[in-house]
Structure 1
């Protein structure tokens, strides 16, 4: 099975996160029924429909793992999450690469991509199963369905009218769970076992379970919320649930009221943190640092408390956590750049629903519930008012200057700008956000975007954290003179760097504590100016495949505690000045394949406690100076270099822990 853009499940490295998320219950009969439909020779499309949270994705994943499905389709089972606001061109581009198996051509538009892919499928007939999960409209579906010998499509949707009705199509309504299966699933999340423990009040458990009406998501979330709670909490949940309306097949209001019980048991701080989830789109992996920064700079939590809150919400199944590397060392330094969260669309709807109980003129949040071409019309009616919103989230396509209207948002402290497109004009009313502390500009289109209207940033002096994703980044970074109080800067999937010196880009960030460049694929040479961050404690350059050397001015980062230089496959050496980083505690040089040696000055890093050097395949020999790393307690490495560390451990470092790891190739970062 190959899964692309799929809902994330917690990775193996997240050993402190929720229990096994792949517990399947009650899907055996449905799996059999849908499988039989797929194997009918005159059927090309099977549509599975039910209410949100009813188990459609679980059923689809169970089918992927079915022995008969794998036996028939082999490795040609492809899983795509489509969602409410899909990037159709991006999905079709990935479909070409996976289904056709060759480099894709440059498509002019969605129609061109569909036409060319359809032609290729007819030229290369072979058994193929494509799963399109969470489809919201027939118009989108028609751009993703193809015909060909042996080619089958499974579609999951909430609305049966999304599926075209013809002789080659079959509809399957996924039933809610029966009594026994519902009880097993509920007990799994409430007690960690599939039956009621002898110490629990069986009658009370069954009454609470019954109020979930067999809906898997409700059983999972409410069961998790009561895990480890005393009887009085169970009684309260039973009473509150019994006052709500039953959950019917398409009764979202009833579902939200049912799930609201899981939020009622949160304290005020946790509730506010949960409501902030409404800022982010459903079914997309978002770096956990974005959410944590809102909690730190707007909710005024300490970073460690914010991180505990993240785990608390994950344990209650109010969000999903996944880790790419499984390395948790950075958590000790106030960073979670390797950790991602996502949310089920129903949970996201719940956050939006509860966060907008007040009228817009009194609400602490101003959030667009879904992507639109421009700002909501009802917002324009409020443009003469001063709005109290602390958190604002805007979700559009490409925006021109004339599409914005003026808004007065003097209390806004966090702004999330979500869009798809190749060009985006920042909202002019950004100038009114004098208290703004967190800014995220997130493009999830298929190409990097140019950002215009940057002069509005010059009046913002309180910014603490800026996150830029899939942008032509240097023009934005040239505003650094106005970002003197910035503590965190993260650029992911950026372009426009080339040889940094030639961009004439300087960074003057005296307050910067956390700097992160990730997957900037045209970054070739770093400028010395990037090292002018005297307060930096965490500094990370990762997955930048063109970088061959680092500036010797790296040693100027004298306050550094954590240095990540991971997945720089063309990096050949570390600068000698690295020995000046006397406060460095954690060093990550993993996946630097051409790195041949460590400099002798590495032994001067007397505070170094951990080094990750896995998959440095050309690293042959350790320098003698590593024996002087008196604080070193953990090394992660391959077997070849691990034998040298074992010798050093035996002779001079008895407390050193050595973790030998096998090479691991992952494309999890491509999920979005």
Structure 2
């Protein structure tokens, strides 16, 4: 079981932390902790051999053992935050001792059972310890265009249909089994410049199996520029869509849109089950008079041929399986990226040529097998083993054998990556997942921890990149200069696999429509508008509750019962002030909570003193809470905080004094400094105490009192610095004087300056003072030049935006920045000779080396 393997190592580490940092407090438990640590280590060694792990008795035993692991984790967490229990000190010690003895006794029974059925590996090593792959940067080219293999003929064929001059509504069906490339072809068409110029409007709708017609219609209208009721009220605009509009009214608006504009609308992944065909037939046929919708085009991707009949498609395209040559090309792109030596590559190619024909020409199967093998280029023997395991796939509509190939990729993952992958199971189909939120959850859950000089966040992004490189996760958006994933999603077949695995591991349960069900054993929950908040009382073991819908009901009523909760994301909720006050009251009782995200909450006006009860909190995200005006000073008592995000909280005048006591803080966003006369405000010298700080985002105004000139330079681990300036209260001279007093450490790697109203940069922004700077972003300023004198930068990435006075020849700038490989330039009209990466009209314009 992935969860058992993955939980043992962090639990052992936590045991060491408790024993080391709290030796005096846990002295009377030391024997029980030592016993637990020894048994965990022995079981971990036993699990290194998986030959017999499919036996029913072993599976049942491991499931029980996993529950013990969670119980032990709760006890250890309580010890780490023991200050909360001082009023009941004797009672707590007594109860803890009893629980530890009970867990160790039951763990011994499990150890004996597993010892009979599992052999310890001969060399005492885990089978996954050979996975020594190194993190490599992942660029958008690798995972956008790199995945498009030989679809140009498909695209050209469909584009000919689209670009003909027939003045009628055109309906095109792209039909084929999952993993055949239907969505890839559609995306290529959707982003084509010739196709774009042919239509007034382009709209993409992800349908999935559990669609609601009113949601789809509303999506079409919103993408076309219509505003929802809420948006209209806030912006004072007309032409609104009622949140409770009848589907027939919405359809009437769509028809009106098609009469006014020529539109390309792509409906991706239409299913035809449970009456869905009748809905699609009604939508595409009887209610859309073709004469009134001239030159518009619908493209429908589906696995079901009946859908194309129901919509009376004018043209149907069926992507074919890849031939041997194209299959090998796609496989090579993923399998051989790390092999440079030609003689070594030839040996791996011999084995690869035995594997590729077994994939049956299915792109998804080829990519996942290629991604799996690409992570194991240190061992030719591993390739041979996988070749022997991988039987010839019988590609069918049911995808049963394709799932076997995906399962092979899953089985080959190290335990920690398996559990990270299973987290994707709670997200709905076609859901764009924000990478940072996902990684925050992993940290809160304890799935990843900082190691050596790498923070938990850095390791989290590496883990995500590994899943992408194995083709188990798809990239939606990345940061341009280094390819860091901003958002991602999962192919529906891979998602089906994660649902089955998560169900087997008893992290969550799903019905026949792949919707999540709540059970007493559920550990993770993606909360949707269809769920009843009352049902949370039935899930006492829940460890993660994450919002995955736009229409959030009020789940606060039963939050207090979730005593094991580690991760809570209720971001962008629309709760009012009163409801939010009740929510915060419930949250304050979640003493084991490690990750809390309330960003974008419209009803949050004050963070109360009760926040201090969350002694285990490591990540607190309140960004975008536009009404937040008061932050309790008790937040400085949260000694385990590593991330505090208060960015875009414009009504918050300052952060409380005492912030320097948060010695473990690694990221601080939204820092606001008041004058020294304000004794309640955090002052600049406090930052010098934050020895672990890596990322600092700060906002400066005329009230910001900066007297120390070397504080930031003493924060030696600082890698990212972002400074926003308030232009309404600062003139150019005072801005530069203020920034000149804030030189960061010379190890700074990324610098962001916004609203900088001076014609020259601060004196420390130069390659001599910042030799390790690799990314520079300057936005909305009055700069005349970037490089002063004869200087050579080591920059790899550059973003210039809204700099109307910047006069520069791009060719000269390139000589001053010889390492530059990515640049974004927007609204800088006096930069000459700037060449786009291609002929598309990017906004901003993109340049790549």
TM-score (norm 2): 0.61
Matches within 5 A, 1:53-92: 53-73=179-199, 76-86=201-211, 88-92=213-217
Quote the offset at 1:56 in angstroms.
0.8
Separation in structure 2 between the aligned mates of residue 596 and residue 324 of structure 1, nearest angstrom: 35
Separation in structure 1 between the aligned mates of residue 355 and residue 770 of structure 2, nearest angstrom: 54
Q: Are 2:516 and 1:395 aligned?
A: yes
Change (3 A) 1:533 1:422: farther
Matches within 5 A, 1:139-538: 141=280, 148-165=293-310, 169-192=314-337, 199-201=345-347, 202-227=349-374, 228-242=377-391, 245-248=393-396, 250-288=397-435, 291-292=438-439, 301-303=448-450, 304=456, 307-321=461-475, 339-356=486-503, 363-368=505-510, 395=516, 408-409=520-521, 414-421=523-530, 424-431=533-540, 433=541, 436=542, 438-445=543-550, 447-454=551-558, 457-471=559-573, 472=575, 473-497=580-604, 499-500=605-606, 508-520=613-625, 523-528=627-632, 531-535=635-639, 536-538=641-643
> Corresponding residue for 2:269?
134
Separation in structure 2 between the aligned mates of residue 169 and residue 247 of structure 1, nearest angstrom: 28
1:416 is paired with a residue of what secondary structure? strand
Contact 1:189 1:223 in 2 (8 A): yes
Quote the offset at 1:323 in angstroms.
5.8
Q: Could you give the per-residue CA deviations for residues 277-297 of structure 1, whole angstroms, max 9, x where no partner exists? A: 333334212244565466556
Quote the offset at 1:369 in angstroms.
5.7
Among 679, 688, 691, the alignment partner of 1:582 is: 688
Change (3 A) 1:90 1:500: farther
Quote the offset at 1:118 in angstroms.
2.7
Change (3 A) 1:188 1:529: same
Greater CA drift, 216-225 or 623-632: 623-632
Gaps of 5+ in 2: 1-135, 228-238, 451-455, 778-798, 802-823, 827-841, 845-849
Separation in structure 1 between the aligned mates of residue 609 and residue 248 of structure 2, nearest angstrom: 39
Contact 1:599 1:623 in 2 (8 A): no
> Corresponding residue for 1:106?
242
Q: Could you give the per-residue CA deviations for residues 297-329 of structure 1, whole angstroms, max 9, x where no partner exists? A: 667543446554333222111113456667999
Separation in structure 2 between the aligned mates of residue 211 and residue 185 of structure 1, nearest angstrom: 14
Q: Could you give the per-residue CA deviations for residues 133-171 of structure 1, whole angstroms, max 9, x where no partner exists? A: 122244564687555222211111111223354656433
Quote the offset at 1:55 in angstroms.
0.5
1:207 is paired with a residue of what secondary structure? helix
Structure number, greater radius of gyration? 2
Q: Are 2:783 and 1:647 aligned?
A: no
Quote the offset at 1:650 in angstroms.
6.5
Greater RCO, CA 8 A, separation 6+:
1
Separation in structure 1 between the aligned mates of residue 478 and residue 418 of structure 2, nearest angstrom: 28
Separation in structure 2 between the aligned mates of residue 629 and residue 118 of structure 1, nearest angstrom: 55
Contact 2:199 2:296 in 1 (8 A): no
Contact 1:549 1:573 in 2 (8 A): no
TM-score (norm 1): 0.75
> Corresponding residue for 1:659?
776
Q: Could you give the per-residue CA deviations for residues 518-565 of structure 1, whole angstroms, max 9, x where no partner exists? A: 344x52423435735431332102355xx3333452544631634544
> Corresponding residue for 1:381?
none
2:355 is paired with a residue of what secondary structure? helix
> Corresponding residue for 2:55?
none
Q: Could you give the per-residue CA deviations for residues 309-350 of structure 1, whole angstroms, max 9, x where no partner exists? A: 333222111113456667999xxxxxx9x8444211111112
Separation in structure 1 between the aligned mates of residue 619 and residue 280 of structure 2, nearest angstrom: 42
Separation in structure 1 between the aligned mates of residue 395 and residue 340 of structure 2, nearest angstrom: 24
Q: What is the number of equivalent residue pairs in this alignment? A: 589
Gaps of 5+ in 1: 1-13, 330-335, 373-393, 397-403
Change (3 A) 1:253 1:611: closer
Contact 2:673 2:682 in 1 (8 A): no
Contact 1:637 1:659 in 2 (8 A): yes
Quote the offset at 1:88 in angstroms.
4.8
Separation in structure 2 between the aligned mates of residue 296 and residue 478 of structure 1, nearest angstrom: 24
Q: Where is the helix percentage greater, Structure 1 or Structure 2?
A: 2
Quote the offset at 1:355 in angstroms.
4.7
Separation in structure 2 between the aligned mates of residue 602 and residue 78 of structure 1, nearest angstrom: 53
Quote the offset at 1:27 in angstroms.
1.1
Contact 1:511 1:533 in 2 (8 A): no
Separation in structure 2 between the aligned mates of residue 50 and residue 308 of structure 1, nearest angstrom: 34
> Corresponding residue for 1:28?
152
Change (3 A) 1:474 1:348: farther
